[in-house]
Amino acid sequence: MSHRAAGRHRTLFRASARLVVIAVASAAAGCGGPVASPAASATSPAATATGPAVGEPVSLRLQVSLTPEELASFEPAIEVLDDAHPEWTIVLETVPQGSEVERVTSQLAGDDLPDVLRVQGLNVQQWIRREAFLDLSGRIPDPAAEFYPGPVEQFGWDGRLWGVPDTASPEVVFYNRAMFDAARLAYPTRDWTYDDMRAAAIELTLDGAGRQPDDPGFDPAAIRQWGWNGGLTYFWQNELVRALGGDLCANADCTEMSFTDPATAAAIEWWVTFVRDEHAALYDPYGGSQTGVPGDPFLAGAAAMGSNGWFAVGQLNAAGAIDYGVVPPLIGVDGERHTSLSTNGYVIAATSAHPEEAWALVKALVAPEFLASTWGRPGHAVPARVDAAESAIDAGHAPSNQDAVLEAMAVGRVFRPFTASAFAAFGATVDVFTQLNTGTIDLEAGLAQLEAAANAALAPDRAQ
């Protein structure tokens, strides 16, 4: 994540005579609008109270929340785009990733939304359901023909389209070749099921003395290598449940959840026993309490396999420490692949003074070549447009089987629930998952507790 000191507004980069890039501090520094560089001062034609003079460019505020690596690709691309459209002056506002919700919420309260915002899909529904954005229904006649269905879904509500996805990061299976070679196991294939993964993961799990979970004297408190990078540790991993015949979502938008349905309970038990009894996956995959290193265990070299977003390719290649391969998502009990994906996309403020110009900007931002050059080819994410997605594949670097990501895009579903109270529900349930995976609460009691806590937190969303 990109973090900048609170209370600072500074010009980052002057891309052209018209493009202005500014950093927006978190809302803790105040709820006012951003401070622009002199090129966008109150006396410039683009910022006069009466609007631009005839023939003058329209000023469009574009707010994004990017990593430093993403911003390094995005800024020059915006410069080229801005130069190609003399009818615009793009004021690019950058917000630290951890401050997106706080910033947009404060902008809504202050009636100060930028014209166009690039937002995370998991956050956007809370603002869509307040009708903070322009209804884009009809502007793209057939979204399903141009974009993968999973990313589009997260920007829809009430039968209408409120945003346009630009990228997604689906999860695929990563494996460490050296660990498989040491265990003399064949690498995963595209035909692997969850039971295939489980059997291999148990063999690949080793304690400090090199013993496997089935060996006498195996010490689960001294594991040095896990077979799989994590168990079922929060409800946004519902695709792991669906792959085994259950479903945590009891309605379409997952504002009602079910943990005690027999098929769902059985799927959860599969994962709990994998972690609690066989010790082949971690109950704390990201906190570092088991590995000693915060972050994903596979990326840290502590797990032989794992499900990770496509963004991990860039991280692994940059580090260069792990010889790895990938395969498509595992095959579920229904014979289908299931995987989750995270998304990002563009929305237009309902209060924008220039909605048509803002829409023209959004169309340019999701054009195939812009997506390919800004997101796909640099390896930041997979373009959500079907005709640009292949740009994320680069035979010049690892892994060899990169087509796996396109299969994942075709079947990927966005994280659910994604409504306004989803984070509250996450906070009310995440510790119970840990208790299940560590055996400090029994399965029946834990599932009942999860169901009650999640549905209580999501109650306001069901009323919408």
Secondary structure (DSSP) of 9-78: --EEE--SSS-EEEEPPPGGG-SSPPPPPGGG-TTSGGG-TT-PPTTSPEEEEEEE---HHHHHHHHHHH
Residue 21's pLDDT is what? Answer: 67
Statement: residue 3 has pLDDT above 50: no
Least confident among 29-33, 355-359, 388-392, 444-448:
29-33
Residue 461's pLDDT is what? Answer: 94
Mean pLDDT of 206-213: 98
- pLDDT tens digits for range 268-310: 999 999 999 999 999 999 999 999 999 999 999 999 999 999 9
Instruction: Please give the Cα distance from 212 to 198 (Å, whole number).
Output: 13
Least confident among 24-28, 51-55, 235-239, 419-423:
24-28
CB 121 within 8 A of CB 154: yes
Mean pLDDT of 154-165: 95
Mean pLDDT of 260-274: 98
**DSSP character for 426?**
H
Chain-centroid distance, C-alpha 224: 29
Sign of CA dihedral 149, 151, 155, 157: positive
Both tokens of residue 97?
């990733």
Backbone angles phi, psi at 226, to 5 degrees: -100, 150
Residue 13's pLDDT is what? Answer: 35
- Cis peptide preceding 399, ω within 30 of 0: yes
Both tokens of residue 297?
């265990």
Statement: residue 36 has pLDDT above 70: no
Mean pLDDT of 51-78: 89
Mean pLDDT of 145-158: 94
CB 228 within 8 A of CB 281: yes
Cα separations (Å) of 283 from 224, 227, 230, 233, 264? 14, 13, 6, 7, 19
Q: How confident is the model at residue 464 (pLDDT cuts 50, 70, 90)?
A: confident
**DSSP character for 343?**
E
Statement: residue 23 has pLDDT above 70: no
Helix (H) or strand (E) holding 62: strand 58-64
Kindly report the average pLDDT of the chain as a whole number: 90
Instruction: Please give the Cα distance from 395 to 409 (Å, whole number).
Output: 19
Q: How confident is the model at residue 97 (pLDDT cuts 50, 70, 90)?
A: confident
CB 42 within 8 A of CB 91: no
Both tokens of residue 71?
């911003």
Give Cβ neighbours of residue 141 (< 8 Å, ≥ 6 apart): none
Residue 124's pLDDT is what? Answer: 95
Domains of the chain: 11-170+342-414 (3.40.190.10), 171-341+417-462 (3.40.190.10)
Statement: residue 258 has pLDDT above 70: yes
Both tokens of residue 241?
């449940």
Percent of the chain with pLDDT over 90: 85
Instruction: Please give the Cα distance from 104 to 127 (Å, whole number).
Output: 9
Closest to 131 measured CA to CA, from 163, 167, 94, 165:
163
Percent of the chain with pLDDT over 70: 88
pTM: 0.86
Give Cβ neighbours of residue 81 (< 8 Å, ≥ 6 apart): 90, 364, 365, 370
Instruction: Please give the Cα distance from 79 to 77 (Å, whole number).
Output: 5
Count CA within 13 A, CB hemisphere, residue 240: 24
Mean pLDDT of 335-356: 97
Q: In this predicted model, which residue has the larger pLDDT, 21 or 146?
A: 146
> In sequence order, what E strands does 272-363 have?
303-309, 324-327, 340-348
Sign of CA dihedral 124, 127, 132, 136: positive
Q: How confident is the model at residue 49 (pLDDT cuts 50, 70, 90)?
A: very low
Q: In this predicted model, which residue has the larger pLDDT, 168 or 19?
A: 168
Query: CB count, 10 Å around CB of 41?
Result: 12
Instruction: Please give the Cα distance from 374 to 72 (Å, whole number).
Output: 9
Closest to 220 measured CA to CA, from 297, 280, 270:
280
Token pair 């409120």: residue: 162
Mean pLDDT of 323-330: 98
Q: What are the helix (H) ranges across 291-393? A: 311-319, 355-365, 368-371
Backbone angles phi, psi at 221, to 5 degrees: -85, -5
Token pair 């396109």: residue: 406
Residue 123's pLDDT is what? Answer: 94
Q: How confident is the model at residue 53 (pLDDT cuts 50, 70, 90)?
A: low
